Amino acid sequence: MPLPQGSTQPIDRVLSHLEGVRGSGEGYMAQCPHHSDRQASLSVKAADDGKVLLHCMAGCDTRSVVESAGLSWVDLFPPGSRERFKPRVWKGTITMNAQGRPALAAFGDDQVAALLGEIARLAKVRNTLDKPVATALKALAAAVGVSPERLTEAVRGALATEESA
Ligand SMILES: [Zn+2]
C-alpha cells in the first residue's frame, strides 16, 4: 500500500496562493506576498521529496511569507513526510487537543490509515511490535494526540487486515 498522494501536491497548493508566478529553471518565481514586491522576488521550488522550498530574495522571513500567502507551515510538506509528525508544524492550523497537540480528526482518516499501514508493515517485517515499531507508534501517537495503547490496537487491527488481504 503506497502512501496516498494528496489530491494536491504541496507545490500546486503553494503556487495557487501566489501572484505573478512564472517558471524559472527547475522551479518558479512569484511575487512575495510579504513585502511590496514588483519583481517576483520569491523563489519557489519542490525538493525531490515533494517538500516546497521558499526563498524571498529581498530577505523576508519564510514563516512570514507563508502566513502572508494565507498558507500554513504544514502546507509545505507532502502527505506522509517526517515533518508532518512534528506537532509544531500544525500549530495554528488545526484543532489541537488538551495537550496542545493536533487532534486525530485533523489528519484525515486516509492519512492516519496510511501511517498505520506503514507501521503495520514494519511490524510485519520484524514479526513483532518491538522497539522500532514502538518508537514509530509513539511518534504517531504524539503527532495525532492519542495514546500509544490506542494506536497499538489500531496497528494490530491493520495487521489483521493485511493478513487476510
Ligand atoms: Zn519578500
Per-residue pLDDT tens over the stretch 60-79: 999 999 989 988 887 898 87
For 125-141, how does the pLDDT look when each residue is reduced to its tens digit (9 = 90+)? 766 667 777 777 777 77
Q: How far is the CA of 31 from the centre of ligand 1 (A)?
A: 8
Residue 10 pLDDT exceeds 50 = yes
| Spacing, Cα 150 to ligand 1 middle (Å) | 44
How far does residue 94's CA lie from ligand 1's centre (Å)? 26
Which residues are registered as beta bridge partners of 52? 46
pLDDT at position 4 is 41
What is the per-residue pLDDT for 33?
97
| Burial class (CB within 10 angstroms; exposed 0-12, middle 13-18, buried 19+) of 155 | buried
Q: CA 157, CA 55: separation in Å to the nearest integer?
A: 43
Distance CA 149, CA 138 (A): 9
Q: Quote the ligand 1 centre to 91 CA distance (angstroms).
A: 23
The C-alpha atoms of residue 56 and residue 27 are separated, in whole angstroms, by: 13
Alpha helices (runs of H) in 16-147, residue ranges in sequence order: 62-68, 109-126, 131-144
State in Å: Cα 61 to ligand 1 middle: 8
Alpha carbon distance 112, 140 (integer Å): 9
| Residue 17 backbone dihedrals phi, psi, to 5 degrees | -100, 5
| 21 CA from centroid of ligand 1 (Å) | 14
In percent, the amount of the chain with pLDDT more than 90 equals 32
Looking at residue 71, what is its pLDDT?
86
Ligand 1 centroid, distance to 64 Cα (angstroms): 9
For the question of whether the overall pTM of this predicted structure is more than 0.85, the answer is: no
161 pLDDT higher than 90: no
In Å, how far are 15, 29, 65, 77 from 90, measured between CA atoms?
20, 26, 16, 11
pLDDT tens digits, 79-117 = 767 676 565 665 555 555 555 555 555 555 566 666 777
Q: 33 CA to middle of ligand 1, Å?
A: 7
* Ligand 1 center–CA 1 separation, angstroms: 40
**Mean pLDDT score across all residues of the chain:** 76
